[in-house]
Structure 1
Amino acid sequence: MDIQALIREIPDFPKPGILFKDITTLLRDAGGLRYTIDALAEKCEHFAPDFIIGMESRGFIFGAPLAYKLGAGFIPVRKPGKLPAAVHSIQYELEYGMDCLEVHQDALHPPDCRILIVDDLIATGGTAEATAKLVQKSGCQLVGYAFVIELKDLNGRKRLPEAPIVTLVQY
């Protein structure tokens, strides 16, 4: 299946000069969504993760069903103030400022915990890099990354701590 054909492009969003890759058209297509989760599962099963980490919010959309499919747990990484228990947090730089991510301190169980980081898209790599640093900070093993879309010209994979990277569509 050509899932790239199910991803809508929106010019000048969120600002002029950006060609936004809109996954809502992929998500509304039942066959496309099923194919996407199945393809991610097939390409990631050899990682044998104990947990999938998905970043707020689109990482939840793909991470939770992938965790189900792989028989792994799902751990959400959220923006500040969204998690009720004690958290590990990390600040990171975006192209337009700073941001912060948090994960529950009791969510990760080192040292044998195997983590796969999942998100819809890798662009500059800042969010995935920060999430990987949270995993490393916890003492768990980062076994890989999985993204539905990669924007190759932005070189996001160069920022990521060393681990295999799976992508389904590249622009």
Structure 2
Amino acid sequence: MLTLLFFAFTFPVVGQEIDSVKTTKNQIDLDVHFLGLECSYKTKITDKIFGGIGVGGGFLGRIGINNNGVVEVFKSKMFVDYYFTKMLHLQFLGIYSLALTGDGEGGKSIGYGIGIYFAIGKIELGIEPSVIYVNQIGGSGKYDKGRLITSLLILRIPLKKW
């Protein structure tokens, strides 16, 4: 009887399969811009969706599509990352930055954008088209009309996954 109880308790525990495939739930990335760097942390929400935050600095140059462009000296962002495939994903961004405009003025800016990234091996290449609103230093205290801008090519390097 004791032997039967022993097998009754050990077989369900030993018989369960142990998943040998490690699923990555968190990741830290380094984004290399032309003259600046960004670091971001993201965590898994579902199989295809990640959420995260990032900060960056340097001269994060952005080309203006309907204006003179912007250089972001400090940038922070919150984002949601949606993976279509392992090779392609979109990042929906909320942005706050300290920016210098092509007009020679600067101030704080807020905005939103979409990052488009393609995986090539372990690294990713992408761009981030955005709309930002700049509040000029010494200005009226209001944000100007939106500026449509896009980043230069971004090289994303995953630093750590766990």
Q: Which has the higher contact order (CA 8 A, sep 6+)?
A: 2
Per the normalisation by structure 1, the TM-score is 0.27
Q: Tell which structure's C-alpha radius of gyration is larger.
A: 2
Per the normalisation by structure 2, the TM-score is 0.28
